Amino acid sequence: MEKTRVLFVAQEILPYLEESPMAKIGRYLPQGIQERGKEIRTFMPRYGSINERRNQLHEVIRLSGMNLIIDDIDHPLIIKVASIQQARMQIYFIDNEDYFHRKFTLTDKNGKPFDDNDERTVFFTRGVLETVKKLGWGPDIVHCHGWFTSLVPVYLKRAYNINPLFADAKMIFSVYDDDFSGSLNPALIEKMKVEGLTNKDLAHYKTPDYVSLIKAAIEDSDAIIIGSEKINPEIEKYLKTIKKPVLDYQDEEAYIDAYSEFYDEILQG
């Protein structure tokens, strides 16, 4: 029997960023799922704050070299990789000079969100799926963590689902307390467009604030996990209205086993 394949797409992973509950899950969940007999691949953005020498990142030439067109401009897609030796796992990094070579992650030194976060999340999420395509590695489950990964569900379910690698993949989205104020650039809806996505598919993104992004991710997911003890109240209320599996918040001792069992339940459908 073939191993279940789980693709993790994470906004934050230890030790590459400062410790946070999401970064800890990004680090220890893939290891725990691998130790429970599943096959994994893990992706995150190559933020400029990540020290490449200290963390021993190196470019994967055979995966790099693609261009992603966003807003009629070609953006080179660079793939880097690092190993977490004690966990026997690799982390793939999506990189691009225009989007990720700055000293901060999603906000500047004053905490103001970057003006191009709309393009950065489009580039990252599409970059992950294009790289997985190039790897020829079809996931059974795609599990996303953080609002910066929230475009993966719509791309997976409405554009990439025509590819046999992704056709049967189950989409799980974890909701965290990673709320941001304001809104992304309203041009997001145009910049997201790829073959297969219609205006109707993108209706949620007309006002791309946090709540709209997360609601859209929930709509295009097969199941939801509540990843933080407290989440946005509007999202919490919305989750009570949906007819799909929702796994409640799990504490640090229990979550890996709970998530692994949840994956199995979703696959058994």
On whether the CB atoms of residues 98 and 156 are closer than 8 A, the answer is no
167-218 confidence digits (pLDDT tens): 999 999 999 999 999 999 999 999 999 988 988 899 889 999 999 999 999 9
For the record, the structure tokens of 260 come out as 């692994």
Q: What is the pLDDT of residues 161-173, one digit of tens each?
A: 999 999 999 999 9
Please, what is the average pLDDT of the chain? Answer: 95
Residues pairing with 34 in the sheet: none
Q: Is 88 left (phi over 0), alpha (psi -120 to 50) or beta?
A: left
List pLDDT tens digits, range 95-135: 999 999 898 899 988 888 899 999 999 999 999 999 999 99
* Percent of all residues in the chain with a pLDDT value above 70, rounded to a whole number: 100
Asked whether residue 1 carries a pLDDT value surpassing 90, the answer given is no
Alpha helices in 113-251, H assignment, sequence order: 117-135, 152-158, 188-191, 210-219, 233-239
pLDDT band for position 139 (50/70/90)? very high
Whole-prediction pTM: 0.97
Q: Say if residues 171 and 139 touch (Cβ distance below 8 Å).
A: no
Q: Can you tell me which residue has the tokens 């580039």?
A: 123
pLDDT at 29: 98
Q: What's the rounded Cα separation, in Å, for the pair 148 and 125?
A: 8
Going from the N-terminus, what domains does the chain have, and what CATH number goes with each? 5-268 (3.40.50.2000)
CB 37: neighbour CB atoms within 10 A? 9
